[in-house]
Each structure stands twice: as structure tokens, then as C-alpha cells.
Amino acid sequence: MAAQPDQLDSSFNDLDYLSGFGNSLESEAIAGALPRGQNSPLLCPYGLYAEQISGTSFTAPRKLNHRSWMYRIKPSVTHEPFAPRSPSHGKLVSEFNDSNSVTTPTQLRWRPVDIPDGPTPTDFVDGLFTVCGAGSSFLRHGYAIHMYTANKSMENCALCNADGDFLIVPQKGRLWITTECGKLHVSPGEIAVLPQGFRFSVEMPDGPSRGYVAEIFGTHFQLPDLGPIGANGLAASRDFLVPKAWFEDGMRPGYTIVQKYGGELFTAKQDFSPFNVVAWHGNYAPYKYDLSKFCPYNTVLVDHSDPSINTVLTAPTDKPGVALLDFVIFPPRWLVAEHTFRPPYYHRNCMSEFMGLIHGGYEAKADGFLPGGASLHSCMTPHGPDTKTYEATIALGDEAKPHKINNTMAFMFESCLMPRICLWALNSPFRDHDYYQCWIGLKSHFKLEDAAVQNAQI
């Protein structure tokens, strides 16, 4: 059969996906496995069990309602009782308070955290640690920002996050994620969203791996409105890829389900794989997105656009225009503004900004912000370009020609909630305690003589 245009695309190299954001989709690993005309027949095709997963309350308005139906070999309830995981994890937080985190308005920056090597291999679950966050998964309002460093695949176990949705940003090493809806292959430069409640298992085919995770409680990611931009631009719905049904049958003795519930981990044993869904349909499913597909917008005459112009996904609050968490990127793009200071402006923001770097450099920092590193500028904490960036920009002056920033992919998790910081992050050996030095050298360019000359001319 001749190759379809989509199959020539590099994302389709290995796996085939469904596409679209928030669509109602359906997929059968075996033809005829999806019941027709109803969701819950007395007997499902092939003797499968019908099971619904709800991502919103049953009564959520239709445009916000998320649910899917899975047709599986055994229902997911077929397991022994949950018990606290031993050893307990200890570095995951889902309700931020003074027993597990502290608060500081200081500008924070971290070098990339070392990836474990040597005799104690670490998988995605053990390698995940909370950096900061706010609110509570119990109260269904808030977020947590985690990072992971790991070097081995999860074996005979799956994670289920009852607390919220994970938005995973791999920085080093691919992630092969098996989910109940099927498989996702995610490379650095792509992101994956694992919505609340889905069971998934992460393989690390490249060994040592590192990345960032934003977790949101009580809501889901949406595509941002485009307003006057129009009907196209930024992230296109068709570029979001959803797995096709994939299942495994047979016994898997000692299989462990790890349930993250209220920031704590619980385990339950079962003797079969949770990835036993032969067919599914609905609009609640994991997905991935390749950031290089993003169509960025920017100023074409003067001044610097606010970073919201490049929002990939947004998790809303009930207040219009106020995000629980925006995922914003700073992709390769042309800078063309005339008589304009082109790097990010100096600013204080009522929202809090956590930033990471996937590869390359970041336009506001000449040094010290490295791929795999991170920074946090909390609510109203001043920040902006470092001294080197400021001086280099001014030195170039008005002669700056249109210029393309290449080989870069920085991102920001921006939230209206003020983050508390976990002590292991604040006291981390990777914390850059000299971060403030990058601005200390900013000197006054104020020339009172110019005012005197002008005043004399009046």
C-alpha cells in the first residue's frame, strides 16, 4: 500500500497514533471489539468487560466533560487491597503546607541534577521528586512541579496518579510510555500528558534520563483561545497524538499497581497486566505533542510580546484569563523588532514563573541556565536578563538586524498560585546560590548631563 502523507512524518516512524485535541476518538486492537449502539451491553464483544474512566464529574457541562469507555480482558478492580508502599517515597508532595515545604521570594536557580548511575538503578517512580507547588490535591485545586532523574524502566509495575494530570517534559532520554489506551513514544522536544487516573508504565530505552513534570489538581489542560490571532496558529489540534488500542493478555504474576493518592504511594498486587484494553472510545485519553510543530507568533514592529503569546496548553481557574498553570514555550523564532530591547524585559509578575530548558540556550541568560536546570521567580519577585545579556544587547544598539534564535527550547510553567518550595530542592547541592550575582553587575546608565543639556535647550 502506498505511504500515506502522515506516515512520512517523523512522529509516525515507530508507532501509529490517532490525532486531535479533546476529540471523541475510538480505537480497536481487534476489529469488532467496540460495542456498537451502546456503551455497556449485557455481554461485550469477545467476552470483554466494559469499564468507564471519568476525568470530570458526571454532570460537568458537556463542553468540559471528559470520559472514556474501555473494553478490557479483566476489570481494573481485580487486585489485592492497597497498602502503603514500602519503602515510602518521601519526596512527593500534593498538599503544600509548612510541614513539607517553605516559602521564599528569593530568585532561585538550579543546575541540572545528576542522573543516577552505578549499582542502584532508579525508575520513573523512584526518580520523581517534587520541587515546588501550591494548593492541594485533596481540595482539587493546585499544582505541583516535579523533576525526574532515572536510568531504568519500570518493571512489572504501573503507576496510577489519582491526584492530578501529569504534563511530562522529557529533557534527556526518550520515554516509551505504555498506557491503558495504548503506547506513546516520547522524545526530548515532545511532551506527554497523562490525565488523572490512567495507569501507565514508563520505559527508558536510552537509560539515563531527566525531565520535568507539571501536575495539576482539579482541572485539565486546554488549548488556549486564540483571540485576535484568528482560527489558526500556536499548537494545532491535529498535532496532538493519542495512542491506538494495544493490549497484552496472559498471566503476569506479582504485577504491582502503584497508586499515587494524596501525594503518598500505595501498592496493590494483581496477576495480570493492566494494559489489557482491547478497545476504547471517548474523549479522555493520554496524548503527546511535538513542540517543533508549534507555530509561534511574535511582534513584527516594536516592543517585546508577553510570553503568553506562546502558550501551548493552559489549565484554567474559574477566573477568566487566570491560569492555574500555563505551559509556555520559547521556541526558535525570528526577532525583528525595531529600536526595541529584544530580550525579555525586566519585570515583576503577580503570577509565579518556573522555567526549564530542554536544549540550547535561553535568550535572557548568557550563563548559568543550562539544559536540565531550572529557575523559579515567584509572585512579584523581580527578574529579567542577566548583566551579560543586557550589555550585549545595548552594545549592538539599533544596528540589530532581523535575527533568528535557533537551537533553543526553553519553557515556563506559570501559575496564579504562589508556590511553596520543598526543602530538598531549596537545600539541594545543585542550587545555584550565586544566582543573584547575574544581576548585581547591572550598572546605572543614567546620564544626568543629557537632562541638563536638554533643559538648557528648552
Which residues participate in the annotated binding site for homogentisate? 362, 383
Cell matching residue 76: 481494573
Q: What residue 180 binds from Fe ion, ligand OMD, none (CB within 5 to 8 A, per partner kind)?
A: none
Look at the alpha carbons of 367, 368, 374, 375 in this order and tell me if their dihedral is positive or negative: negative
Please state the closest distance from residue 228 (CB atom) to ligand OMD, in A.
Answer: 19
What residue ranges bind Fe ion (CB under 5 A)?
353
Please give the size of the binding site for ligand OMD, defined by CB under 6 A: 9
Beta strand 374-377 with 108-110: parallel, antiparallel or unpaired?
antiparallel
Sequence-distant (6+) residues with CB within 8 A of 456 are: none
Cell matching residue 439: 544581576
Residue nearer to ligand OMD on the CB measure, 366 or 412 = 412
Please give the Cα distance from 349 to 356 (Å, whole number): 18
Please state the closest distance from residue 22 (CB atom) to ligand OMD, in A.
Answer: 27
Residue nearer to ligand OMD on the CB measure, 143 or 411 = 411
- Answer yes or no whether residue 344 interacts with ligand OMD by CB under 6 A: yes
- Which residue of 307, 316, 356, 371 would you call a contact of ligand OMD, by CB under 6 A? 307
- Answer yes or no whether residue 95 interacts with ligand OMD by CB under 6 A: no
- Answer yes or no whether residue 373 interacts with ligand OMD by CB under 6 A: no
Residues within the annotated binding site for Fe cation?
Answer: 347, 353, 383
Please state the closest distance from residue 301 (CB atom) to ligand OMD, in A.
Answer: 17
Integer CA distances (angstroms), 146 to 167, 280, 298, 363, 422, in order: 10, 30, 30, 24, 10
Among all chains, which residue has been given the C-alpha cell 525583528? Answer: 336
**HEC string of 350-401?**
CCEEEEEEEEECECCECCCCCCCCEEEECCCCCECCCHHHHHHHHHHHHHCC
Please name the amino acid found at residue 132. C
Q: What residue 169 binds from ligand OMD, Fe ion, none (CB within 5 to 8 A, per partner kind)?
A: none
- Which residue of 146, 288, 383, 420 would you call a contact of ligand OMD, by CB under 6 A? 383
Beta strand 408-415 with 277-282: parallel, antiparallel or unpaired?
unpaired
- Site stretch for ligand OMD (CB under 6 A), options 101-109, 132-140, 345-353, 386-394: 345-353
Please state the closest distance from residue 97 (CB atom) to Fe ion, in A.
Answer: 26
Residue nearer to ligand OMD on the CB measure, 317 or 349 = 349
**Identified catalytic residue from 89, 141, 304, 359:** 304
Candidates 104, 124, 161; CA nearest to 423 is 104
Q: What residue 412 binds from ligand OMD, Fe ion, none (CB within 5 to 8 A, per partner kind)?
A: ligand OMD
Triad 53, 56, 60: Cα angle to 5°: 130
- Answer yes or no whether residue 364 interacts with ligand OMD by CB under 6 A: yes
End-to-end CA distance of the chain: 80
Determine whether 281 is an active site residue: no
Candidates 197, 191, 124; CA nearest to 327 is 191
Question: Cα-Cα-Cα-Cα dihedral of 265, 266, 268, 272, to 10°?
Answer: -20
- Answer yes or no whether residue 412 interacts with ligand OMD by CB under 6 A: yes
- Answer yes or no whether residue 353 interacts with ligand OMD by CB under 6 A: yes
Residues within the annotated binding site?
Answer: 347, 353, 362, 383
Q: What residue 364 binds from Fe ion, ligand OMD, none (CB within 5 to 8 A, per partner kind)?
A: ligand OMD
Please state the closest distance from residue 349 (CB atom) to Fe ion, in A.
Answer: 6
Please give the Cα distance from 392 to 387 (Å, whole number): 8
Nearest-Å Rg of the Cα atoms of the chain is 24
Please state the closest distance from residue 329 (CB atom) to Fe ion, in A.
Answer: 14
Residue nearer to Fe ion on the CB measure, 326 or 353 = 353
Distance of CA 403 to the CA centre of its chain: 29
**Site of interaction with ligand OMD (CB under 6 A):** 304, 307, 344, 347, 349, 353, 364, 383, 412
The catalytic residue positions are 304
